[in-house]
Amino acid sequence: MSEPIDLLISLFLLDSSAMTPQQAEQLSDWIKQNPDNARTFILSALLHRNIHDTFLRTDKVTKVLLQCDPAASENNYEKSLLNPEVWQMLSNAEITAPAVDRQPEASLPIPLDVQPVCPLPHKINKFSLMTAVASLAALFFLIVFAHYTPLPRNQEVATLSDTFHAQWAESDTWLKPGVRLTAKSQSIRLQSGIAKIVFDNNTRVVMEAPTEFEIMDSDHVKIKYGRIYASVPPEALGFTISTPNSKIIDLGTEFGVQTDPFGETELHVIKGKTTLVAGDNNQKTSLQVSQGDAKIIGRSSRIADITCNDRLFVRDIQSQNNIVWRGQSLDLADMVGGGNGLGTGKPNTGIRWDNGAFASTQEYYIGQRQDSTNVFIAVPDSPYIDGIFSPDGSAGPVAISQSGDYFWKAPKTCGQYCYNINNSGQVSRGTGRIPGHLQSLDGHVCGEPDYPTICIHPNAGITFDLEKIRALHSTLALKSFTAQCGLSETVVQYAQQALPGYLPKANFYVLIDGQVRFSKENLTPAQ
């Protein structure tokens, strides 16, 4: 089956050993078809960061190479590529390049004196791709040399950005947030907690214990066992995570990798796409895995489909704000329970009307109606909630922010409010007519994990500080607010037992910066 050319070029430049013989042959044939294809391949190579980092030490070289006119005739096109000035500048760059200090290491590859041999039938040497444009052999040599020149040992390539309750192995106790990390220095063991590493190419990886890993290069992490999530920006295309039985190459993605000590690996692609390579050189399998797909690689390197789990991996942490994010949406009910919107809030907890403090629904309870004239109560213990208020417009516009910057011409009400605003689906304390019970809305049990609920009694409102929410959850791109509002069917059922024919009505409003963006008036149960 024919592969996309952009995928084949990426595979060759990023890791040619990951290519199958069929893929290498297809790329070779495509390059030979016409000079435009050869030019596309060369330009792709020039954009590859290894060329920029290792050879193109001046902008002049890049400028001359990219001045080739694709609209020119074939002969002029080839002459422009073979401009002696180009090769002279490249030669000078190589001659004047500073030497790389390298410490002897037994495990480093030893150069071999390769002798010509007869090719085996039906196989293609991946490096024969360089003969597809023989007139540009020098440039191909530079590309391959740039790719296979490893970083010197102990070169800094990343920073330990943050940790959350992290415990390291005894040999790794020096690891603290802000520490610079080096390539090929040592294997690192995270025994408990979570760690976030940011590479110099802006790739962010989050490790969840227990994990043992090693940073191999500026764009390569090897994981022996554990769980890792990578968020790769466009400029770091090709970032690679390798496991004992596979290699995952980024093609513009966010993806998670989990591998156990027994040799089984899972790949879950959350955004974009990756190339998955499994097996040894004799039985290598290479395939593309796209957004929403997941694969499991068994101990025998056999690949099978599994369900993609977009909540399996920790994607980001902010220890200062007690944030551990697994990709879930922010939960405003959790914030009403004193949490950060990601599950740290307490159920059956709400906000007191007297001082704005958080309190259990069992500890604090207003059973008598209060006068709602000009009531706005700040919530000092939450950075996410500005305050609570009673929206009675009988005396004029109502303050809906602590700063007094926003007012709302609210409708007139009876002028009274009662009971806390709670992170709960319960009527926690019964009245003469309605006993304590779990409420329901549209057939859902309120307050369950899959149906979080803010319980608000009549003539009450709450203001969330979107600016602070965005600042404290900077990794999240907040795009929309979704909620279901209504009157509990159970409350109505109990009320009608005492007052036959009773049908309550309520108005719901959602405001952003003081402007009504949603309203539903005279809403009755089951609407």
For residue 180, tell me if it sits in a domain: yes
For residue 292, tell me if it sits in a domain: yes
Question: Does 85 lie in the same domain as 221?
Answer: no
Question: Does 362 lie in the same domain as 227?
Answer: no
Residue 178 structural domain: 156-306
For residue 104, tell me if it sits in a domain: no
For residue 22, tell me if it sits in a domain: yes
H or E stretch including 64? helix 59-65
H or E stretch including 441? strand 440-441
User: Mean pLDDT highest for which of 74-78, 151-155, 201-205?
Assistant: 201-205
H or E stretch including 42? helix 35-47
Q: How confident is the model at residue 436 (pLDDT cuts 50, 70, 90)?
A: confident
Question: Does 48 lie in the same domain as 180?
Answer: no
330: which residues sit within 8 A by CB, 6+ positions away? 341, 342, 469, 473, 476, 478
Question: Does 385 lie in the same domain as 436?
Answer: yes
Q: Of 254, 271, 306, which marks where a domain is finished? A: 306
- Number of C-beta neighbours around residue 262 at 10 A: 9
**Domain count of the fold of the chain:** 3
Query: Which stretch of 70-74, 161-165, 235-239 has the lowest confidence by average pLDDT?
Result: 70-74
C-alpha to C-alpha distance for 432 and 187, rounded to whole angstroms? 66
For residue 113, tell me if it sits in a domain: no
Q: Of 259, 275, 306, which marks where a domain is finished? A: 306
User: Mind listing the pLDDT tens digit for each residue in 82-111?
Assistant: 454 554 554 454 444 444 444 444 444 444
Question: Does 342 lie in the same domain as 274?
Answer: no
CATH for 228: 2.60.120.1440
DSSP state for residue 448 in the 8-state scheme: B
Q: At residue 313, does pLDDT exceed 80?
A: yes
Question: Does 368 lie in the same domain as 250?
Answer: no
User: Mind listing the pLDDT tens digit for each residue in 27-76?
Assistant: 888 888 887 787 788 778 766 655 545 444 444 444 454 454 444 444 44
Backbone angles phi, psi at 39, to 5 degrees: -65, -45
Question: Does 301 lie in the same domain as 174?
Answer: yes
- pLDDT, averaged across the chain: 80
User: Using CA of residue 340, residue 346, residue 351, residue 352, what is the dihedral sign?
Assistant: negative
Question: Does 385 lie in the same domain as 290?
Answer: no
User: H/E/C letters for each residue in 298-360?
Assistant: CCCCCEEEECCCCCCCCCEEEHHHCEEECCCCCCHHHHHCCCCCCCCCCCCEEECCCCCCEEE
Q: Of 306, 339, 363, which marks where a domain is finished? A: 306
Say how many CA atoms lie within 13 Å of 506 toward its Cβ: 17
Q: At residue 414, does pLDDT exceed 90?
A: no
| Residue matched to tokens 């989990």 | 258
Q: Which residue has the higher pLDDT, 18 or 155?
A: 155
Question: Does 161 lie in the same domain as 70?
Answer: no
**Assessment of whether the complete model's pTM goes beyond 0.85:** no
Q: Long-range pairs for 502-506 at CB < 8 Å and ≥24 separation?
A: 506/458
For residue 109, tell me if it sits in a domain: no
Q: Which residue has the higher pLDDT, 250 or 78?
A: 250
Question: Does 258 lie in the same domain as 293?
Answer: yes
For residue 378, tell me if it sits in a domain: yes
Contact 436, 422 (CB under 8 A): no
Question: Does 485 lie in the same domain as 348?
Answer: yes
Exposed e or buried b for every residue in 483-517, given b needs 16+ CB within 10 A?
A: eeebbbebbbebbeeeeeeeeeebeebebeeeeee
For residue 444, tell me if it sits in a domain: yes
Pairing of strands 273-278, 240-243: unpaired
Question: Does 343 lie in the same domain as 468?
Answer: yes
